[in-house]
Chains A and B, each alone.
Chain A
Amino acid sequence: MNQILVIAWREITRLRKRFGGGASPVAVLLLMGAVGLSAFALRDTVSLGSGLYRVGVSGDVPAIEDSRFSVIELEADEGQALLDSKSIDVWIDGAKVISRPDDKSQYAVRALKQYMEKAELIRVGNSFAEEDAFPLRVGINYLNPYQPPAENQTGGEAVAPVTKPEEVIIPSLTPPPAPFTQVLVALIYILPITFISIFFTSSFMDEKVNRRLTILLSAPITPFQIILGKMLPYAVFSLATTALIAVLTKGDVLLALAIFAPTTLFIFAIYLMVPLFYRTFKDTTFIAMLVTTLTTAYLVFPAMFTNVNDLAYISPLALAVKMYRDEPFGWREYLFPSVPMSAIFGFAMFAGTRLLNEEFLMGYKPITRKAADAIYLMMAHAHPYLSVPLWSLLVIPIVYLTQVVFLAFATNLPVGLIVGAVLIASAFIEEVVKSVGIVVLAERKVVTKFRDILLLSALSALGFLVGEKLLLLISITMVSQASVSGALFGSGLLLLIPLVAHFIFTAIVSLLATKAKFPYALALTLGTIVHFIYNWKVLGGGL
């Protein structure tokens, strides 16, 4: 513990030296001030479609204050001419709105409608008594659609009991629920964490450039202590900013910390990989960008569907959205996103301790070779019969994350191709994961015999299947609370067929790559094709 604190303190000193003295702290403060002030000034005005429409107004028209519109005052007689020459998109003459039939003008009218509805509400609300201005109340009640009330004795039908207390709304003041703005608020939590990780990454890069890492590694401390020590100051700082944001946005501080702590760990886990794999500075920039994009997408995309689909809980932001709406959520909902993220953190810490050695860090090799080295280093310390299935089991959360990303890519394709493309991509990534360990071990001559490779393929398939089914089980029971374990594990045959299938595909790839000396990419392609055909048949036949 003491050593960890020493390294943490050294890290703080390093940062203080970097940013202490000279102009840089002033510059940082000035820039942050500028960003903060502008964000404050712009908080209501920036919207989708900023500056797109030109509106001409003449006569008595309420002021239009919306960043989408540029307003031009004109005389009543020039309006039509300007509209016809497409200099303006809409002409508002008093209470009349005149537009052209073309698309752009019609878009402008719709945008104007959205704005005017709000503006008129404010005007009506301010100038009339509340009862007159908002004359409609709607009491919303919920009925359980699956439980019709029992017919009563006399044969007449009773009014069914409602499931929740009545909720009374005023339609024009109560927009239907959409989590968009709350998702944006929740996104604010992620931003500082990704910024802080620049420093975390740089810390390792510094050591590497200055060759101080060699000295550090020869000291009587473990790589685990080094990583933890370097991470500590940044992790504390991240949690502090999370608490600060929660205070500023009037959220529940403890709840926000609980929600975002696994997310912080997850982001650090991924940024830990960047300095381990980079070769030039440009690599770092690109890898860091990739990481930021993918994690943001992974976090934001599911949260958009909060309250629409239960799978939204893949992302912890969905919990934050719930928090801002004062809606309760239970342990299941909390653990569903947090467990995989913490698991990835654990995996990254393990990888980090294995890879933090001079030979691996300093080597300049193609990125694929570096990845192979990394996998070898992670597996080499245990017996292959243990490390291969464990590897297949532990990387499942990463496979799953990658498949979500593929799905986003695929939505670009024509509808007919989406399913096929996703199936091919998923088959490919699964085959990579299952076979890569075996191929790397065979390459290093750890396993050589035909029989061994077959056995390892079977173990790898088993590990993968167990991991896959566990994840499925956890996700389904956590979300729907239904007891589906019977359906998943009840019939032995149902599990045996995919196990055999996984085994066959992995064996094909491994044997082709190691014994037949096919290039790995070719072996993978062949395995993927067979896997895809199997998946396609299963889907088509409804097995």
Chain B
Amino acid sequence: MSPFWAVVKKELTSVIRDRTIVISLLIQLFIASFSSALLLGMLSLYDSDTIMRFSGAGIKIGVVGESQLSEFVRQRGLTVVPFDSLEEAEAVFFQNGVSAIFVVPEGISDTAQIKLYLPDNEAVSSIIRMVVQEPLKQFENYLREQNGIEVRYEDLKGKPSTSFEFIYSVLLPMLMFFPAFVSGSMSVDSLTEEVENNTLQTLLSAPLSLNAMISAKITSSVIIAILQCMAWLSLLRLNGIAFENTGWILLLALIVAGITSTAAVLGAVLLKDRERSQFIYSLSLLAATAISTLLNASPITTLSRLAVGDAYTGGWNVALFAVVLAALYLVLWKTSRRLAG
């Protein structure tokens, strides 16, 4: 076995022996499940479509006075109970017959003031306000039409898109790029530990150049990252989440892990201690994410587009990141001498 692979093997076995990599896996599982739980919680609390699906027809709204509003409320899937006066409506309200009461004055014209009576209980009233928001907006548009103002694109429907957007623009990129982030951190630790404990000189007495040693460290962290990505992709498949371009996605994850590890090692070569290297590494990662988004070449967007099968995204977009990796690696190759000096 060549010295290069011997170092790779040593790095991998040390990671497995320390078992702390399990923490990293747990974190990812935790973030994934946590953000999904969060989304689910948010949806059931703040998304009127989800509320309607679970308890829509059970919500009864009392309406005093005739108007188009009753029709809009009914179209939303809520149950409308008409009343003649507020007194009657309130009597039913206090017997839990209706959850809220609208009072619409007669002959409503240009600027209308209607009244909404809600129970003084934040949890219930905020749900009701969420489900009547859509009918109120429709009623508002109807009144605007009466005033001669035309509102365009008001009849769009579609399907609730939050889950779709969450899975492809948050969950999948998170699971593919978090291992890359970790592998960069690991490279910093691995290299600075050799420097600070003065074991680097011993390692360099082996028949192995400095660049080969550094590359071996990068290779081992990238291997760990890509193994995690493959595991997450299969787990997502098992959960019935479909995505396209699996090959390109994995290649992109591999290249990004390469970029983060190379950049991290570059920082460690220049700074030589863990504290500063980790700090600069985290900061640069933030900066790189922000700048790439600004330049409209974010790997996150590329990954989302690959996964949903965007017609204009393919191997060329991935190749762009390969160029970045090559450039970074060249810089590292030229500067690594400073570590031995």
Chain A interface residues (CB < 8 Å from chain B): 18-19, 23-24, 27-28, 31-32, 34-35, 38-39, 41-42, 46, 48-52, 54, 68, 70, 85-88, 95, 97, 99, 103-104, 106-113, 116-117, 120, 124, 128, 131-145, 148-149, 156-160, 162-164, 166, 168, 170-172, 175-178, 180, 195, 198-199, 202, 205-206, 209, 279-287, 289-290, 293-294, 297, 300-301, 304-305, 307-309, 367, 405, 408-409, 411-412
Contact = CB atoms under 8 A, between A and B. Distances in A.
A171 B170 contact: no
6 closest A-B pairs by CB: A49-B165, A38-B290, A109-B158, A110-B158, A107-B161, A281-B189
Interface in B103-162: 110-123, 125-126, 129-130, 133, 136-137, 139-140, 143-144, 146-149, 151-154, 156-162
B280 A135 contact: no
28 contacts: A38-B294, A50-B298, A85-B311, A97-B156, A108-B161, A132-B110, A132-B147, A133-B144, A138-B113, A138-B116, A139-B116, A140-B115, A141-B115, A141-B117, A143-B120, A148-B91, A157-B87, A171-B133, A199-B275, A205-B275, A285-B182, A289-B185, A308-B45, A308-B123, A408-B30, A408-B33, A411-B36, A411-B37
Interface of B is mostly: helix
A283 B20 contact: yes
Nearest to B26: A290
A87 B311 contact: yes
A134 B151 CA distance: 12
Contacts of B116: 138-141
B275 A52 contact: no
Given A49-B168, A50-B304, A285-B278, A159 B87 contact: yes
A143 B120 CA distance: 5
Contacts of A39: 290
B162 to A, nearest CB: 7
B287 A34 contact: yes
- Which of B111, B137, B287, B311 has the most chain A CB within a 10 Å cutoff? B287
Contacts of B23: 286-287, 289-290
A144 B124 CA distance: 12
A172 B137 contact: yes
Contacts, number: 332
Interface in B35-52: 36-38, 40-42, 45-46
Contact of B24 (A133, A135, A289): A289
- Which of A34, A106, A136 has the most chain B CB within a 10 Å cutoff? A136
Contacts of B33: 408-409, 411-412
Nearest to A68: B165
B141 to A, nearest CB: 8
Contacts of A405: 30
Given A97-B153, A148-B91, A171-B137, 14 more contacts: A23-B270, A35-B286, A52-B308, A97-B156, A99-B158, A113-B153, A117-B137, A176-B129, A281-B274, A285-B186, A304-B41, A307-B126, A409-B34, A412-B37
Contacts of B193: 280-282
B37 A139 contact: no
Interface in B293-321: 293-294, 298, 300-301, 304-305, 308-312
A86 B313 CA distance: 13
Given A137-B113, A285-B185, A289-B24, A198 B121 contact: no
Contacts of B139: 136, 171
Contact of B304 (A34, A51, A132): A51
Contacts of A285: 182, 185-186, 188-189, 278
Contact of A139 (B40, B113, B300): B113
B208 interface: no
B164 A409 contact: no
B266 to A, nearest CB: 12
A304 B47 CA distance: 13
Of the four ranges (under 10, 10 to 19, 20 to 34, 35 or more), the interface on chain B belongs to 35 or more
A35 B289 CA distance: 9
A156 B87 contact: yes
A171 B291 CA distance: 38
A107 B165 contact: yes
A140 B164 CA distance: 34
A107 B293 contact: no
A409 B120 CA distance: 34
B111 to A, nearest CB: 5
B93 A145 contact: yes
Contact of A111 (B113, B161, B287, B309): B161
Nearest to B143: A135
A355 to B, nearest CB: 19
B90 A143 contact: yes
B121 A124 contact: no
B159 A282 contact: no
Contacts of A70: 312
A164 B282 CA distance: 49
B148 to A, nearest CB: 8
A171 B113 CA distance: 11
Contacts of A149: 90
A18 B161 contact: no
A293 B182 CA distance: 13
Given A52-B169, A137-B113, A286-B20, A142 B120 contact: yes
Contacts of A411: 33, 36-37, 40
B236 interface: no
Contact of A48 (B18, B110, B162): B162
B20 A42 contact: no
Contact of A110 (B18, B148, B157): B157
